[in-house]
Chains A and B, each alone.
Chain A
């Protein structure tokens, strides 16, 4: 197992290096002079020169590239061009809020999606299966902002059950209360994916020989279901969560904007509005790293659950 994890870990290095190079090149091919963009057209020549010198923009391209890589190796994503705060610090400051939101969404997605998917599989090709299929297609067509807006209108404004603006502060109770609506809104999109995966995984498992054997031996339905089928059907669900993580980070950004919640979303929008390229660069690198790491963890989890994977 240790060998498998090490091999998978090493295989991420070229991907990560490539990711860094792509981000570096993209920022450099951007038209316009970052010094002018940030300091404005009225900035004096001295101010512009000083800014370029401070940001290392006068160095040859390869020196900038090496500096960039060296920074990353030391665990630094550079400093904001505007405020001078280290980008990693501002990311880590708001990351818990986004993770909290993503975890909440996964919770709703799994808790609502799994039973629905299993129900659809057990009633395969019946009216319920058909209905759930259409519902899941509608669900995964929902734009993230629309679920959020509808939930706000319905649960926060009409019913006054939840706050319109989600402020994740205070005690654990307050925090969960503020998290509920954004997490549900993000989770509803997840439900559709989980439901479809749960359905096909369940159908796969139910068709296996060992289920037939267990049934032939007279195992009660309940035991058969909980002990044999459900456990194995959960593996693909774990995978789908990993697969859609990248998608969810994007949707989380929109959800955060709508609920006016602190998190990566607000950080991104602020950096965009201020044309803070170094923060944007750090955010890109960070989110790509996050996706690569989640994929790695998914692979390892898969290897733990299904020993056959390691052999490949």
Chain B
């Protein structure tokens, strides 16, 4: 009896990436969109000919023109430039707070799942309590109490989304700690910290990353909501939420002053949701059909 052994075709990393992209159209579209937005935010000074802070009362509430791509706001500031610079704030706050929530939340979740017993009960009880607070209202509350500045806003968003990561990291950890490779690591005398960080964490990463892209979308929206309510980074720094808030006062005569930044928020959030949604399919094919 001759067995034919078929070796899987060898692929270069580029080919593999292309294959992944073809299988995962939504994620790819999202990734490209997000990349473009991030690039535009980084290159903001190069892409806009106007200073986002420069007021020009003679050109207030102007319509789109070759000079002012998206028109001007009530102080005659260039909306296009302000959106680009506002995106920097949105992306920085959104990504930093999601990263912090991801790291701390997953660490707590892995610790809870790995240790079990009272450590588990304590951590997860606290997470349940945090989950009871409506996210936006908690964010409002924290920023209102501590004061509206960059790091307080990051803190507020981190605290509100952290429990979701703890939950998602805990469940697979409970299954993983019974597996042979973890037992082997324990038999070799590795410390718990090393087992959790080196052996368990990488196996939990997939699910955590899917969640991260979806919650980054949420974090960016929360930042916009906070500044819309007036709890964002203080003016004159442009943020998308503040622009919408200021534009809303002139909704009748020049609606676009608030609509353009609104669409900017939509695009960023959509790009992240596309990435997360596609990734979720890739990781859990069960959900695809």
Chain A interface mostly: helix
For the A-B complex with A15-B125, A140-B273 known, give 5 more contacts whose Cβ atoms are closer than 8 Å. Answer: A22-B133, A30-B146, A157-B252, A249-B137, A268-B140
Which of the segments A70-78, A177-185, A287-295 contacts the partner chain? A287-295
CA distance A224 to B85 in the complex (A): 56
* A15 contacts across to B, CB distance below 8 A: 125, 128-129, 132
Interface flag for A91 (CB, 8 Å)? no
With A144-B225, A152-B251, A246-B134 in contact, is A19–B266 under 8 Å at CB? no
A198 at the interface (CB under 8 A from B): no
B141 interface neighbour in A14, A134, A254, A280, Cβ under 8 Å: A280
CA distance A279 to B136 in the complex (A): 17
Find out whether the CB atom of B146 lies under 8 angstroms from the CB atom of A284: no
For A138, what are the chain B residues with a Cβ–Cβ distance below 8 Å? Answer: 266, 270
- Interface 1/0s, chain B 108-144, versus A by CB < 8 A? 0000000000000000011011101111111011101
Please name all residues of chain A whose beta carbon is closer than 8 Å to the beta carbon of B146 when the two chains form the complex: 30-31
- Taking the complex as formed, is A101 at the interface, i.e. its CB lies under 8 A from any CB of chain B? no
Q: Which residues in chain B, 207-250, are within 8 Å of chain A measured between CB atoms? A: 217, 221, 224-225, 228-231, 244, 248
- Report the Cα distance A149→B270, complex, angstroms: 18
Asked if B168 CB lies within 8 Å of chain A CBs, one says no
A125 contacts partner chain B, Cβ-Cβ < 8 Å: yes
Confirm or deny: A90 has a beta carbon within 8 angstroms of a beta carbon on chain B: no
A141 to B263, CA, bound (A): 10
Cα separation A230 to B144 with both chains bound (whole Å): 45
Contact across chains for B273 and A137 when beta carbons are under 8 A apart: yes
Complex contact A149–B262 (CB within 8 A): yes
| CB-based nearest B residue for A292 | B132
Q: Are the C-beta atoms of B140 and A150 separated by less than 8 Å?
A: no
Cβ contact within 8 Å between B125 and A18: yes
* A5 interface hit (Cβ, 8 Å): no
- Provide the residues of chain A in CB contact with B128, threshold 8 Å: 15, 18
Q: Closest residue of chain A to B274, judged by CB?
A: A137
- Report which of B225, B255, B274, B277 forms a contact with A153, defined as CB distance below 8 A: B255
User: Taking the complex as formed, is A298 at the interface, i.e. its CB lies under 8 A from any CB of chain B?
Assistant: no
Residue A283 lies at the interface, judged by CB distance under 8 Å to chain B = yes
The 6 A-B residue pairs with the shortest CB-CB distance, nearest first, are A250-B136, A18-B129, A146-B262, A141-B270, A246-B134, A141-B269
Cβ B135 vs Cβ A268 within 8 A: no
Interface size class of B (residues with CB under 8 A): 35 or more
Minimum CB–CB distance for B244 against chain A, Å: 6
With the chains together, A15 CA to B251 CA distance in Å? Answer: 43
**Could you give, for residues 43-63 of chain B, a 1 whenever the CB lies within 8 Å of some chain A CB and a 0 otherwise?**
000000000000000000000
Nearest-CB distance from B193 to chain A (Å)? Answer: 28
* Interface pair A19/B133, CB less than 8 Å apart: yes
**A64 at the A/B interface (Cβ < 8 Å)?**
no
Kindly identify, within residues 4 to 22 of chain A, every residue whose CB is under 8 Å from any CB belonging to chain B.
Answer: 14-16, 18-19, 22
- A28 (CB) vs chain B CBs: closest residue: B145
Within residues 119 to 148 of chain A, which ones have a CB less than 8 A from any CB in chain B?
A: 124-125, 134, 137-138, 140-146
Which B13-29 residues have a C-beta within 8 angstroms of A?
Answer: 26
Point out the residue from A137, A253, A288 that lies within 8 Å of B136, measured CB to CB: A253
A144-166 near B? 1/0 per residue, CB < 8 Å: 11100110110001000000000
A250 with B270: CB separation less than 8 A: no
Judging by beta carbons under 8 Å apart, are B262 and A145 in contact? yes
Q: Is the CB of A142 within 8 A of B137?
A: no
Interface size in chain A (residues, C-beta < 8 A): 53
- Quick one: CB contact mask for B176-189 with A, threshold 8 Å, 1 for yes? 00000000000000
B273 touches A287 (CB 8 A): no
Does B265 count as interface, using CB distance less than 8 angstroms? yes
Complex CA–CA separation, A254 to B137 (angstroms)? 11
The answer on a CB contact under 8 Å between A22 and B262 is no
Task: Determine the chain A residues whose CB is within 8 A of the CB of B134 once the complex forms.
Answer: 246-247, 249-250, 287-288, 291
Q: Chain A's nearest CB lies how many Å from the CB of B143? A: 9
Alpha-carbon distance A202/B146, docked complex (angstroms): 46
**B258 at interface by CB-CB < 8 Å:** yes
User: A274-287 interface mask toward B, CB cutoff 8 Å, 1 = contact, 0 = none?
Assistant: 01010010011001
Does A118 have its Cβ within 8 Å of any Cβ on chain B? no
Give a binary string over A4-48; 1 marks a CB under 8 Å from any B CB, 0 the rest.
000000000011101100100011011100000000000000000
Bound Cα distance A291, B259 (Å): 32
Pairwise interchain contact B136-A149, C-beta atoms closer than 8 A: no
Our pick among B140, B144, B229, B287 for the contact of A200 (Cβ within 8 Å) is B287
Residues of B near A18 (CB, < 8 A) are 125-126, 128-129
Q: Which residues of A contact B273 (CB under 8 A)?
A: 137, 140-141
- B67 at interface by CB-CB < 8 Å: no
Of A16, A137, A254, A269, the residue contacting B225 (CB under 8 A) is A254
Within 8 A of A (CB), among B146-190: 146-147
Residues of A within 8 A of B244 (CB): 145-146, 149
Q: Which residue of the partner chain, among B126, B145, B217, B225, contacts A26 with CB atoms under 8 Å?
A: B145
Nearest residue (CB) in B for A125 is B289
Instruction: Given A143-B265, A284-B138, answer yes or no on A19-B132 (Cβ-Cβ < 8 Å).
Output: yes
Contact (Cβ within 8 A) B125 A143: no
**A258 close to chain B: CB less than 8 A:** yes
Question: Residues of B contacting A87 with CB < 8 Å?
Answer: none
